Structure 1
């Protein structure tokens, strides 16, 4: 599996690292990419074990370093049957296809996706990440979290969390047991938190979490919007929860710029990410940027937020 330390070294407040890959249909290439934080490894298509009685998009099971990983097919994303001749002429012509499996790690879930082409990992400026058009913002079948303009084409950052949720897999939940949390609710009731998060799935989880503990949530979809909201209303927020990798501006850059302007602000900051690494957490605290937890773990999340008020 890809080491967390390798990924963490690639995190920079102004850059993002992606693994480009493609799906092919009628010799046309759909250009996609994954944030390397969500990539555990890339393997060749080889020996596999068929799954009993499991319907599409699941294909088979493979074993990676002792971990059983279900593999799914995402070719329906490349629905190019309706392309006209003009569009086909402008598609990239593909000379060869070498199928691989990208092993994705989302929270506690390992899942493989079959792709036709993988390319070298590349580092791009965070400013190059464009949010998808608003017209598709609520489309359940549009699995894109950001876009990159590559000359005359776009590369789409694949929203693996949204896709997994769309096929009925739960990647996180908020427990419904209120009785054991009555003391916590007393402490947190009426508190207001700013959530800076680009993933629709994690936005929904955060909404459930805030409602459970009777708190108010304001949402920013990326670091740029989060910075604007902080500069305008920081005194109204009891705490901030921010993802790290986001389009336009990531969470680390957002907090660095905020603290450089509001030097005396003491609003507690909590970063969460799919990476769990003690050294990274230590670095953030030593720089005075905030605390860090693995997302989305309700127990750790509530414990950390409660520590802000005790």
Structure 2
């Protein structure tokens, strides 16, 4: 007697990415983000950054004091020594010079010290972002994993762009978290051993602007490191070339006028993070002296971003060209 066998529905075979069926962009982003955050150094950095920020913020409680009496006594002693030296050596004196001139306020003044502290933090993160970008872009070349990745995702422009967006996004996110951790700690220091005077709407607008500009700056410098590594296809040569590339700017722009001399990376980073707007000389009441020269020479925020893009643009375009137009070996 013949029995009919039951018909069992076949389970769908999962679709595996192949050169003819590359992964969707969502899967590509998830895979590349996992690869980006998987290295041990990245995971250690994810722990060290917030810990370092917290320690930096709490250090303000130890380095400042709300009691100004001792500082005034030291200022009066310095003023008396100044008067004694002036009388002994016949130095000119000025009636405007008094004990206040020699007074060093031990308190933590939220305005203006917080701007400098936030600038210090973002500057350190900017330097770290270049290194992070280099390792993110060069690690897969030394291990020859890039050949496999290019086989799975043959659209190399999409692979290059996805990795670039993730490198910049992770660097920007880390900066956003670090800044958000630091500001409350600085407020704690100001309340505990300093002053919160002057924290009006203009102050918070300026601090927020500096914070947002810093996030964009760190993302751009992470992209610079990534582009250098993708261009030279390695981590060690990219580190060496990054040093030479950034250090050579001082020789290129130095001695070509006070304004061009500030187009080294240090000057550009300061211009981007400067909380004080630069007053054009034509609109200033100042006509001579070092103060006028400094006000005229300083780069604006827009100048700073343009300068950073001048460093980034050519390297990024060359790296994209080499990633899409040359063989991966």
TM > 0.5 fold call: no
Q: Which structure: greater helix fraction? A: 2
Q: Which structure: greater strand fraction? A: 1
TM-score (normalizing by structure 2): 0.23
TM-score (normalizing by structure 1): 0.24
